[in-house]
Structure 1
Amino acid sequence: MHVATAQRMLNHLIDRSYVNLTEAGYTLGAAVLPLAWAFTYQDRTSAAAFPLLTSITQSTGFTSSVFVQSGESRVLTARVEAPSPMRYQLVVGQRMGLSVGGGKVILAYMPEKARGDFLERYEGEYLSTGVRQTREKLESDLKTIKQQGYYLSSSERDLGTIGLTLPFWNSKGVFSGTVNVVTHDDSYSVDDILACRRQLAEAARMLSLQI
């Protein structure tokens, strides 16, 4: 895109308050807030997820979330914090990668070509433990996810955390996102978090019936 074209488009967005021009550069403007509110209010997945996540968190003591795919990333659309919250904070709307933690479940169920393109470009990365994740290890994890139907992560994105993630589909059988729980490994064990797999599976089933 030519610079003049990009500048003209930005000027239009500034005039309509979708973008602000500050000393630090371009930022989102106030006009995006009604759009964000409209999405969370009208999105059937978010509306259906909240009571299910509330029930999961109340019974397990774990923070629970729903993520959906957005291109080659995942977006948090619903979250219920545990009474003892995580050391890091995520907000609804936050975008995260697909190659670490629960994002791998979305990657595993992406269309074959899109997943292949992603893996072809993947050059590996260091997890929070300092261990380097190779493309071969990522591919192995994706195969395991398809075989067992869930993914248990440990200190991949954040040191000292464990998470359990399951996929869910809509009523037409189209893959739609993931539901997960996460907690600190100094308070709970892997067995503790695996014990709620049946409850997560039921939440995934209920989501599938409502979207």
Structure 2
Amino acid sequence: MIGGSHGIGSSLVDQLKDRHRLIVASRTHSTLPDSVRHIPFDAQNDDLDTGSLPESLDGFVYLPGSIDLKPFTMLDVETFEKDMLINFFGMVKVLGSVVERMSAGASLVLFSSVAAGTGMAYHTSISAAKGAIEGFARAFAAEYAPKLRINVIAPSLVDTPLAKRLLNNDRKREDMASRHPLKKIGSPEDIAHMAQFLLSDDSRWITGQVLAVDGGLSTLSGS
């Protein structure tokens, strides 16, 4: 698991820790249970130390991401490059280093955003990066079937540290919740439950999919 110390990753660790041997590669580890092995790793700058990994891996999750919402005219090329680096190129680099260790039947889970499939103002940079993930996953799924499965979760706004500035007062929280047909903001547990399902054999006939976990935002009218 790349990332896992906060937000969705932390919830996923809590759901998996008692049934699986987990390895988390992340910048921090103070919140991780003692049973989880930690590898210091910065997705933007480091090469993953694969020498310390088991010869066979049954699952892979890439969690690092970004939220940089601004009008297009306020974004420079460096912002697009930064979002692509942490969301897409970082994932490609890590996955390339471990794909040969993935066991037959292994499941891989990536993360996109509701904004990649639904046009939203001020999302040009993050939508571009997340759209790259979705296209990559479909092609990867075709190339590696039937040995490996890969799926993408596309959440709407989730109450995590990454979204803190978008939810830092009651008015913002109410406004964001009201945009969703289910009239609430997603929790890390909501997304982690889907990731757990996709990693399990219960999803063994699912691959190459982008699954929206977004309170109905991408498909339903909010009225």
Global fold match (TM > 0.5): no
Q: Tell me which of the two structures has the higher relative contact order, counting C-alpha pairs closer than 8 angstroms and 6 or more residues apart.
A: 2
User: Structure 1 length normalisation: TM-score?
Assistant: 0.29
User: Structure 2 length normalisation: TM-score?
Assistant: 0.28
For the pair shown, which has the larger CA radius of gyration, 1 or 2? Answer: 1
